[in-house]
Amino acid sequence: MSSSMQPFPSDAKPQEANAEGETNPELYRHYTKLVSGFPSSNGITNLPLYHHPKGWNSSLVSMVGSMVADSCFTARPSDIIVTTPPKSGTTWMKSLLYTTVHRKQHPVDSADHPLKSIGPHECINFFEYQLYTKNKIPSLDNLLEPRLFATHVPFVSLPRTIAGSGCKIVFVCRDPKDNLISLWDFVNKFRVKQGHEPISLEAAAELFCNGLSPFGPYWDHVLGYWRAHLAHPEKVLFFRYEEMHKEPAAHVRRLAEFVGFPFSAGEEEAGVVDAVVRLCSFEHMGGLVATKRGKTEFVFGVMENSLFLRRGVVGDWENHMSPEIARRIDTITQAKFKGTGLSV
Ligand code: A3P
Which one is catalytic: 152, 221, 229, 251?
152
pLDDT of residue 16: 44
- Backbone phi and psi for residue 213, each to the nearest 5 degrees, phi listed first: -120, 160
pLDDT of residue 43: 86
Nearest Cα residue to atom 26 of ligand 1: 312
> Which tens digit of pLDDT belongs to each residue from 75-99?
999 999 999 999 999 999 999 999 9
Long-range contacts of 328-332 (CB under 8 A, 24+ apart): 328/205, 328/209, 329/176, 329/177, 329/180, 329/205, 329/208, 329/209, 330/177, 332/176, 332/209, 332/219
Angle at Cα 148 formed by Cα 145 and Cα 149, nearest 5°?
A: 140
**172 in contact with ligand 1, CB cutoff 6 A:** no
pLDDT of residue 122: 96
Closest CA to 77 of 28, 159, 145: 145
pLDDT of residue 333: 98
Which residue out of 44, 91, 307 has the highest number of ligand 1 atoms within 8 Å of its CB and is therefore the one to mutate?
Answer: 91
Q: Which residues of the chain have pLDDT under 50?
A: 1-13, 16-18
Nearest Cα residue to atom 8 of ligand 1: 87
The domain over range 25-175+220-310 is classified in CATH as 3.30.530.20: no
Active site includes 221?
no
Are 58 and 52 spatial neighbours (Cβ–Cβ below 8 Å)? yes
pLDDT of residue 275: 98
pLDDT of residue 118: 94
pLDDT of residue 129: 98
pLDDT of residue 15: 53
Are 211 and 57 spatial neighbours (Cβ–Cβ below 8 Å)? yes
Q: How far apart are CA 30 and CA 118, in angstroms?
A: 34
**88 in contact with ligand 1, CB cutoff 6 A:** yes
Asked whether the bond before 233 is cis by omega within 30 degrees of 0, the reply is no
pLDDT of residue 193: 86
- Backbone phi and psi for residue 302, each to the nearest 5 degrees, phi listed first: -85, 130
pLDDT of residue 7: 27
